[in-house]
Structure 1
Amino acid sequence: MSALLDTTNLDELLAMLGDEFRDIVRQYVDQLEDEVAQLAALCAQRDWEALTRMAHSLKGSSGNMGAVMLAAAAARLEHAARAHDEAEIESALLELPDLARRTAAALRAGRYA
């Protein structure tokens, strides 16, 4: 397991599903930037309910893709949004763009996407 990815899980899924899994990972990677932007927009709108739901969704999809650090960051954002903790929300949102970029790069470098 790398700091960003659970490569053991990814390797198992790749062995089972092959190119179908790569297609799924590519779709996940391709939408990451937009999802992070949408999360920031929901914060700017102070729509805590929608922010909570979207952070929960990112947490789940990231967990499914073995993106453990991004899943943890999304969980942090989800909990902060649920609590309406604006300082923690902003702090969590600050780390997401770079973490999403590094996660996408790691998935590509590992030939999962």
Structure 2
Amino acid sequence: MESAADHFDLESFEMLKDVMEDEFDDLIQVYIEDSDRRLPQLQQALTAADAAELRELAHSFKGASSNISAVTLTELCRQLEQAGRDEQLDGLEQTLDQIVGEYRWVKNFLQSQLSL
């Protein structure tokens, strides 16, 4: 069975919770809302073979995921960003599928951490 440590830098995540205090829930909700919008945009960019847009979206998603210490998702986004930079879009459907699956896990975990 997977643990949060398979997906997060837990030490950094706990520090983020401590630092953000009452604003932690807001941060997580904004991350989830942005990410929920970003995933279809990534798919559209890949379908349109728009390497620049794919790179830009993946870069933004990478940064947001890094900010919440989601290390596996950050790495997958880095790979997608690099492929967009290199204009190597063949076979990226699998990487995007991995991102979607990883994001589902991350989202469920983050929602379990909310104090609402």
Q: Given the two structures, how large is their TM-score scaled by the length of structure 2? A: 0.87
Partner in structure 1 of residue 77 of structure 2? 74
* Equivalent residue, structure 2, for 1:47: 50
Confirm or deny: 8 A CA contact 1:67 1:103 kept in the other structure: yes
2:62 paired with 1:63: no
Deviations 1:67-103 (A, max 9, x none): 1111011001001111121224222112121111111
Report the AA paired with residue 83 of structure 1. Answer: D
Cross-structure match for 1:18? 21
Mean Cα deviation higher: 37-46 or 80-89: 80-89
Given that 1:4 and 1:106 are in contact with CA atoms closer than 8 Å, whether structure 2 keeps it comes out as: no
- What is the match of residue 108 of structure 1? 111
Structure 1 runs (4+) greater than 3 angstroms displaced: 110-113
Identity rate, percent: 26
Counterpart CA distance in 2 for 1:17 and 1:94 is: 31
Secondary structure, counterpart of 1:85 in structure 2: coil
Greater RCO (Cα-Cα under 8 Å, separation 6 or more)? 1
The CA distance in 1 between the partners of 2:92 and 2:29, in whole Å, is: 28
User: Alignment RMSD, CA only?
Assistant: 1.8
Q: Which position in structure 2 is the counterpart of 1:38?
A: 41
Query: Given the two structures, how large is their TM-score scaled by the length of structure 1?
Result: 0.89
Instruction: Give the Cα–Cα distance (whole angstroms) in 2 for the partners of residues 81 and 17 of structure 1.
Output: 33
Deviations 1:27-66 (A, max 9, x none): 1022222211110001111111111011011111100011
Report how many aligned residue pairs link the two structures.
Answer: 113
